[in-house]
A and B are shown apart, each in its own frame.
Chain A
């Protein structure tokens, strides 16, 4: 955090000054470790073993916050008797289909739930994971397999739904099939010894971490978990975060001050860019993108978001959706035409960034717009990215500098190797200089969901323009060209509300856009007035709103994000600094800060409480609960929506109102986290024979080869683990830092960090050169020998880890350039979210510079031959292939 979020780290230092204990768990010894009370180095990619063992420690020592767990989580809920855990099925959960690599989730469900809600269409058989049909470099895929590939994103951002909330519970937590008992059995295998075997952390140090976390949780104290985006860069990344969620729920650290799981984002306003998404699979406010086969009408669509019988606020999704459609298409959106629901494009499959790149290689995509993104350096498998861009008809790059993604056609590594020749590249590249954040008005949304307005300080120089102006102009000009069109396909563009006041330079008013996002009353006596809360949204077309969770940012007609009342003039919650979604709520699920009867768990950690005299919840923050629902309220069976929330259901967005220790649905790779090795790992999975995640998305192509893992022959050719990371001095792929002299001189060159032991083993010399090789390519880096990198003992053998900052790329325009660490990775994805595994893989390292020109290709190829690599290598999802016990694959399926 000190390394990548130094400004935010001041608050950790402040907490430390007040007595907080800071524990840093990271393969790398960073500037955070230097300031922490304890640094716990572990093997990259082994976090679930470590975190799972903490869960086991909590459960086996009865250290969980029992009252909280019984009342507020699904610990007591009984699970279907069809569920079978991994220890009985050789490393997979029940419902796994080895042919498709996909789980049928029926057996994971709550007892008493109907099989699959026919209306929801959320769990159809076609709910497939990844695609294995493309075995050739050309990535040829049929439409069906594409549809299957898309499955991971179909949940949108809203999580899974439940058909109803009538679950069976055993509040004594003794039923063998209640969640707590299942959890206990599942994590019993996660012992301190397994942590040592898997992660390389000593039992003593592990015990210290467990003690610190447990002792600092409960009624009087809370512990926070902070992770950065690196946690997500794994084939099992979602389950890493699930581990943290389980720990926090068991210890009662959710919905309470000082608790929670804090996700530090990769750069400014990434939170904002998921809220109002730049992602292909969601609409603003985490509404799912409609699908081509399932969502013919608005009604079909809304039914898949939530069942009317489930609890919580997702049952109001019709009001959010119709208000969004009214914001998009205004007058044209009417009840008769489903509020123009048909205008929204439908998903036909995975259109995530890596699928898109493979589609570019397959000549399926003509144009590509890059906005502040440098995939030639920042994305996994840089070569695939660059070769793909060379296949485009046109490429638009909007950035502050002439980044490598804009100049790949003349100076990429593939020009040097002869894989690309400038004269053969037909891609027309348009470069638009972009305005920096100080040159435009707008908001940043940070990880606390806080929107903070920034004012334009200076006008952008020269031809630099804001994204807002760029897109406004693109839309304006396209509409102009199509003005006379009679084609129905042009209606979505022509009917769009596209009127924003502009200044003398044509810059649209960001304030007006924020007001549109907030939403307004369209009819009635309040017509024209901004909405004050999303609860005012209507499904009858009488309100508009561009993103329901942001409604309230313009409450009372005031830009609430612009508020800057100093903390000295308000209480610690500081509700008058900026504005947090939803409803300016600073701590989510804060009903959980009080006990089931509505009293704070302790005065020290008091936050929200039930005021019986006033008949409402009260506290220093916005209450995250129906404000007049008393603690003792129990809804009549079958009541759905917000009224279906009992007085002790704090998790108001969950279908049963409870925090999920066990996810009965919604995750494609299992209801509970399970340790699988990274896609490439020199270590054999110590837990079972299933080496890597059986649901990870693999792409067995000739241009995406993988190293053998574990005990497989050839694994020793790539014996070392490497990980990538950032330095304080640079920003992601370098577009904002490698062109700045004052930053470039602070970290002027690409380097690799190795331990003195590895340096000795491979004759690496401090400040000398090293070549790092994977089955994709080889890169060179200067060597930094440092004690900060510690060899770990895992399974009796020494595992060396190599650290690589990923800021550099090959190009001619930056002040400092160098080989790109991300070129070393292939493309293998987490099934849930299509995020690439770029925090761990296998490599070899040797002293000296890499070969140049075509010799580089031979060099890499020789390594592959030594390891006997084919497209199949490392890509089997079920291991060992074809050696599973009879019936294991289908066990747990209903015998219907």
Chain B
């Protein structure tokens, strides 16, 4: 990692802020225990939001939302039919070794919902490269955060740690931030008055109340395998790069970082991920763009258009006057 991420706290006017804080979520060692989800809810008083069996592997929380600030995705990846020999390099069905085996696919499976029963496409004999991916998703705490840009009340603000936090007592529930987020993270909490913070936009705070006291965010604290690591973003970026290199050296060629590129559409994120496949497989946008990126251009164009209309009108009056 040669380039480092800028600290947006400086840009927003914090003088001499502490180092930018963030998460590095290494999904290659996530065991899907969901301790992060539970610890997050316990610490942040996020309410239980529905006892619904989703029939989607072991995931029954579905996605990030107002009452799910950490979400563990479970992706059952069937074999890739036509991927060559029935066994991978080591001849096993194990997922980790199958990761290490370079494979030649005839089609790209993006892990998107299909209309078939899971596994219906492959017969049992073909199912040799099955793997079960697990990954804990969270607010990305973007370098260029659209939610913050569009917030009319200032309820969303950039902390001294470079994170993005909602102040629940200021948010008026206008909901502008909801479509602004390129990841679909932030949401207004549904429910009547009995529900804590209902009507207010909610998302991960990177445990602002904990890190201010020198503590680790609840999810990272609870993670038994250190799949979720918390720390200074610069240091995490080095760790992440080293981990990817190590996995590549082990033959896990598909390992890649997500959110680590300062030149991506959001200027890089404070929460990075090590993925074992395309982002789409995990339900992550492959090329997120801060939705407010084009606002200046759009305003310029709108102004130009307005000026043109005005000019046209003026010309028409002038023309009439010349008659």
Contacts and interface: CB of A to CB of B under 8 A. Distances in A.
A and B interact physically: yes
Interface stretch (A250-258, A456-464, A739-747, A851-859): A739-747
Closest 5 CB pairs of A and B: A741-B48, A767-B55, A748-B51, A38-B94, A756-B119
B52 A766 contact: no
B172 interface: no
Interface in B284-303: none
A143 interface: no
B118 interface: yes
Contacts of A742: 37-38, 41-42, 48
Nearest to A35: B31
A238 B170 CA distance: 64
A760 B120 CA distance: 9
Interface stretch (B129-137, B175-183, B185-193, B202-210): B129-137
A39 interface: yes
Contacts of A13: 29, 31, 225
17 contacts: A13-B31, A34-B131, A35-B95, A36-B96, A37-B96, A38-B94, A39-B93, A208-B90, A747-B58, A748-B60, A755-B124, A756-B118, A760-B120, A787-B130, A788-B132, A790-B124, A791-B124
Residue in B31, B37, B127, B130 whose Cβ sees the most chain A Cβ within 10 Å: B31
Contacts of B91: 204-205, 208
A236 interface: no
Interface stretch (A3-11, A376-384, A473-481, A680-688): A3-11
A745 B51 CA distance: 5
B48 A756 contact: no
B55 A745 contact: no
Interface of B: 29, 31-35, 37-38, 41-42, 47-53, 55, 57-58, 60-61, 76, 78, 87, 90-97, 117-120, 122, 124, 127, 130-134, 224-226
Chain A, interface residues (CB within 8 Å), range: 35 or more
Interface stretch (A498-506, A599-607, A778-786): A778-786
Interface in A711-762: 727-729, 741-749, 751, 755-757, 759-760
Given A38-B92, A205-B92, A208-B90, A31 B33 contact: yes
A43 B127 CA distance: 17
Interface of A: 2, 6-7, 9-10, 13, 17, 24, 29, 31-39, 41, 204-205, 208, 727-729, 741-749, 751, 755-757, 759-760, 766-767, 782, 784-788, 790-791, 815-816
A31 B41 CA distance: 23
A812 to B, nearest CB: 15
Contact of A787 (B42, B48, B92, B127): B127
A756 to B, nearest CB: 4
A24 B37 CA distance: 26
Contact of A10 (B49, B132, B225): B225
A9 B31 contact: yes
B242 to A, nearest CB: 12
Contacts of A10: 224-226
Given A34-B132, A34-B134, A39-B93, A782 B53 contact: yes
Given A748-B53, A766-B55, A38 B97 contact: yes
A759 B32 contact: no
A37 B31 CA distance: 14
Contacts of B132: 29, 31, 33-34, 788
A785 B118 contact: yes
Contacts of A31: 31-33, 132, 134
Contact of A744 (B48, B76, B78): B48
Nearest to B67: A745
A208 B131 CA distance: 19
Contact of B51 (A33, A34, A205, A744): A744
A747 B87 CA distance: 33
A815 B53 CA distance: 14
A745 B60 CA distance: 7
Nearest to A209: B92
B94 to A, nearest CB: 4
A788 B130 CA distance: 8
Contacts of B53: 748-749, 751, 767, 782
Nearest to A787: B119
A728 B134 contact: no
B110 to A, nearest CB: 17
A746 B118 CA distance: 21
A815 B52 CA distance: 12
Contact of A748 (B52, B93, B117): B52
Nearest to B123: A757
B48 A728 contact: no
Contacts of A728: 32-34
Nearest to B57: A786
A291 B34 CA distance: 49
Contacts of A815: 51
B131 A816 contact: no
Nearest to A783: B55
Nearest to B40: A742
Contacts of A35: 29, 31, 95-96
A7 B49 CA distance: 26
A208 B32 CA distance: 27
A755 B119 contact: yes
A782 B226 CA distance: 33
Contacts of A9: 31, 224-225
B89 to A, nearest CB: 12
Contacts of A787: 76, 78, 118-119, 122, 127, 130
A756 B38 contact: no
Contacts of B226: 10
A767 B93 CA distance: 27
A39 B95 contact: yes
Contacts of A746: 34, 37-38, 60-61
Given A208-B90, A742-B48, A786 B118 contact: yes
Contacts of B29: 13, 17, 35
Given A727-B58, A743-B38, A748-B51, A6 B33 contact: yes
Given A2-B31, A36-B94, 15 more contacts: A6-B31, A10-B226, A31-B33, A33-B95, A38-B92, A742-B38, A749-B53, A751-B53, A760-B120, A766-B55, A767-B53, A782-B53, A788-B132, A790-B124, A816-B51
